[in-house]
Amino acid sequence: MAIEVFNRREIKYMLNDDDKNDLLKIIGNYMNSDPYNKDGKTYSICNLYLDTEADELIIKSLEKPEFKEKIRLRSYGTVPLDATVYLESKKKFDGVVNKRRTPFKLEDAYAYFETGVIPPNPKMNKQVMSEIDYIINFYRLKPKVFISYDRLAFFEKNNSDFRLTIDRNIQTRRTDLRLDSPAYGTQLLPEGAWLMEAKAFKAFPLWFVHFLSERKIFNTSFSKYGAEFKLYKEGKSK
């Protein structure tokens, strides 16, 4: 069952192929692979990010305020209209991320964005939906950007607090804003680059800290949506 509400710190790092391969050589000693990573292969995540007509949420986010928030619709791969997707709010305050999500049918999500009417759904988290609906109406949000990527994900053994995700093939577009359309668009990372996120509420484990130190890997403030917006303003995003 998908976790609908949680808090955590999220620290990002850029890896090259050698960094990633060396990490994968040792990670099995400490972490279990996500079930979606069948036979060690990546799985696909697709998102529709919502924003105002004037892109106010991402503009504010790039100013690095103490508090910022995003709303997105997420699917795991390209999915049909009757598939379950997740409407999520992601808020960050003082370095701590709060994520809340609720399931939708994709066709119902499209209808909701079009009409503003919340569809009946017995699996919906009504409290989370009420909060997200308020944000969408307050800012008058609508789908603005499609972002997809291929992911490796890991959970530390006997400690569900620590998680690692490693993403590549980050693609973005501002047309064809549908999760039932194939993943394609402008690439955000060069060939051989991976974006890793370390996610935990408590301290990161020592083995991971030692790996970063030995490889001289430092944290970065890279944001997928932020990077897309910068390319869009430069006329380099589709």
Please tell me what DSSP assigns to residue 34: P
As a whole number of Å, the CA-based R_g of the chain is 18
Across residues 152-172, what is the average pLDDT?
91
In the predicted structure, residue 1 carries a pLDDT above the cut 50:
no
Residue 147's nearest CA partner among 37, 33, 53, 228 is 228
Rounded Cα gap, residues 103 and 91, in angstroms: 18
The percentage of residues in the chain with a pLDDT greater than 90, rounded to a whole number, is 78
Mean pLDDT of 127-140: 95
Q: Residue 120 pLDDT more than 50?
A: yes
The predicted-structure confidence for 74-110, as pLDDT tens digits, reads as follows: 999 999 999 999 999 998 887 788 889 999 999 999 9
Q: With a threshold of 0.85, does the pTM exceed it?
A: yes
Which DSSP category does 30 fall into?
T
- Kindly state the average pLDDT of the residues 114-132: 92
Write a three-state SS string for 74-114: EECCCCCCCCEEEEEEEEEECCEEEEEEEEEEHHHHHHHHH
